[in-house]
Amino acid sequence: NAGVTQTPKFQVLKTGQSMTLQCAQDMNHEYMSWYRQDPGMGLRLIHYSVGAGITDQGEVPNGYNVSRSTTEDFPLRLLSAAPSQTSVYFCASSKDRGRGTEAFFGQGTRLTVV
Amino acid sequence: RKEVEQDPGPFNVPEGATVAFNCTYSNSASQSFFWYRQDCRKEPKLLMSVYSSGNEDGRFTAQLNRASQYISLLIRDSKLSDSATYLCVVNRKAAGNKLTFGGGTRVLVKP
């Protein structure tokens, strides 16, 4: 069972570089989201999507873009990497069950911007 | 004020003991509540949901107090394998089904 797959697991970027973090799920979930986790801050929502073709901003969207062309894929693009974007990034997906849903997470991407 | 607040701990717990900790949420429109477990450098995983007045799953009991806007997690007969960070999560479907996470409570179970 693949679940939610994130790539890469580790990445080092230089300031100003761009890159795309990949996320794919095989559970036919409508909801997908991206979080970043920093020490002492918990998980903070970057962007989310309620279905293919629909995306919206979360709590900390600046410096990131997303798109949702298919139900399965939800890539996160860093436009011009900054040291403040050094973090662990998690992608999650969930099925709408009406009263709140269990989220399934990918294994995370550890990003360092130097 | 953060929307979801937790005591970061750590809670140092002797093996076999009981530990309990709370999570407070500020938005009264929150409608679904969860406890997630996160092991060091791993992804969060659902431990249990709390939909009504409480939920029990083996050694774990979660309680919801809507009047005071908090949920709690109690772990009985603690095992070494219970050492982890426990994340409190709330959901508001009206807010696009977004999950809001607390900062986590770290639990260390020691022999």
Cα angle, residue B93 at apex, residues B42 and B44 outer, rounded to 5°: 5
| pLDDT attached to residue A97 | 55
Q: If DSSP codes are grouped into helix, strand and coil, which group holds residue B42?
A: coil
With CA atoms as reference, the chain A residue closest to B30 would be A100
Interface of B with A in 58-97 (CB under 8 A): 87, 89, 91, 93, 96-97
E-state strands within chain A = 4-7, 10-13, 19-25, 31-38, 42-51, 54-57, 64-66, 76-78, 87-94, 103-105, 109-113
Q: Are strands B11-14 and B105-110 parallel, antiparallel or unpaired?
A: parallel
pLDDT per residue as tens digits for the range B86-101: 999 998 776 666 788 9
pLDDT per residue as tens digits for the range B25-79: 998 888 889 999 999 989 999 999 887 778 899 999 999 999 999 999 999 999 9
Query: Counting one residue from A and one from B, how many pairs have CB atoms under 8 Å apart?
Result: 64
- From B44, B96, B102, residue closest to A56, measured CB to CB: B96
Distance from CA of B97 to the nearest CA of A (A): 7
Question: What is the signed CA dihedral for A102, A73, A20, A41, rounded to 10 degrees?
Answer: -10
